[in-house]
Amino acid sequence: MAKLYFNYGVMNAGKSLNLIKDAYNYEESGRRVLAFKPAIDTRNDKIESRIGLRRDAINVANDDDIYALFETENRRLRAEEGLHFSAVFVDECHFLTAQHIVQLSDIVDRLSVPVLCYGLRTDAFGQLFEGSARLFALADEINEIKGMCRYSESKATFVMRLDEQGRPIRQGQQICIGGNDHYVSCSRKEYKKRMTL
């Protein structure tokens, strides 16, 4: 039975790496997969892990219909190769809209194609992203990809945004695209300690 999966973790936990590995495993067994990523993440036009592995993906804008995009790509694959997509992979799913998540669930429910989403749970201020909140409500399976705290031996559960001097930023826009130059992952204890200094 096809399912909607939400694989979440902090930054640097290996979410994109897991996506690339899982998609490769599907393909190695002779299946075809389709990958999506939000267009808002302009750092790269591909899904890329920190260790340098990459794979192609279709960029999704806020007003795109992911279900329609999938059906278009599936028809193309069927016409060109007589095949169909066996799974959908989505990177940075926290940046998707709630409607996108419903559309992904429609791929599962109407077409019996599994959808595997990878992303953050919360923003740098401890609030759920729109896409993550909808996935927590709709996903059939929710899995944590664990990461390590930058400051302790604990598991990281929060992401902190830093300014140019390395100080925590306590307010601002929810979305600020960046990597290790802007963010660190930390435990709840360390997050609370540094955000209340």
Residues making up the binding site for ATP: 9-16, 91-94
Task: Report helix, strand or coil for 196.
Answer: coil
Task: Report helix, strand or coil for 156.
Answer: strand
Location of structure tokens 């095949």: 83
CA angle 104, 93, 30 (to 5 degrees): 65
Handedness of CA 29, 22, 60, 180 (dihedral sign): negative
Catalytic residue annotation: 92
CA angle 156, 35, 123 (to 5 degrees): 30
Separation between Cα atoms, residue 157 and residue 189, nearest integer Å: 10
